[in-house]
Structures are given as C-alpha cells and as structure tokens.
Amino acid sequence: MLKAKNDKARWNYATWQMKVNLIYDMRKGISDYVDDYSDEQRGEAVLTVLKSARNKDEFRKIIKGLKTPQIGMDSINITDLMTKEQILKYEAIKF
C-alpha cells in the first residue's frame, strides 16, 4: 500500500469494503506471516487507505465498517493503529 500511496488511479477500483478489509488485515501481527513492518509504516499504510476515500460518505463507511465489522471480526479503533503524529494527520483528513 505504501507503494501505491501517490498513485490515485490504483485506488479507483477499490470499494469501501475492500478498504475496510485492507485496514483490518494490517493490524499488528495480521499483515504477514513475518511481521516486518514497523508501527509507523503500518500507520502510514492505514492513512494511505483512508486518504483514498472518494468522498465523505465513503470515508464514513470505512470508519463505520471498522467499528461494526462483519460477523466473526473484531471492532477496530482506527487510532490504535497509529502513532501520535499520525493521529493528528488522521484528524486533519476527517471529512
């Protein structure tokens, strides 16, 4: 996701549900069998996904989808995946 950070065209095909699933899978220890990403890198990837929201409705759907996930999935507090600096960036991009 970090490689796609500045490539807006890549995000045109991702639905809000796909973005929820990406963030869900990026939680610590879930992103890879060998977790070689730092907390800061993980937070940047989450911010990248959130910034890709097309409009305020999609942004809200992503956040709601994380708070009230599908059956069998845990609720996620998005700020738990970010550093303090990244939380400030998140607050700035909220629609």
Q: Does 1 map to a domain? A: no
Distances (CA, A) of 78 to 8, 13, 16: 22, 23, 15
> CB pairs under 8 A, 24+ apart, for 67-76?
69/20, 69/24, 73/24, 76/23, 76/24, 76/27
Domain span at residue 19?
6-92
The answer to whether 58 and 16 have CB atoms below 8 angstroms apart is yes
Q: How many domains does the chain have?
A: 1
Ordered per-residue pLDDT tens for the chain, 95 residues: 556 666 667 777 889 999 998 888 877 555 455 556 788 888 998 999 999 998 999 999 999 999 887 777 888 898 998 999 999 999 998 77
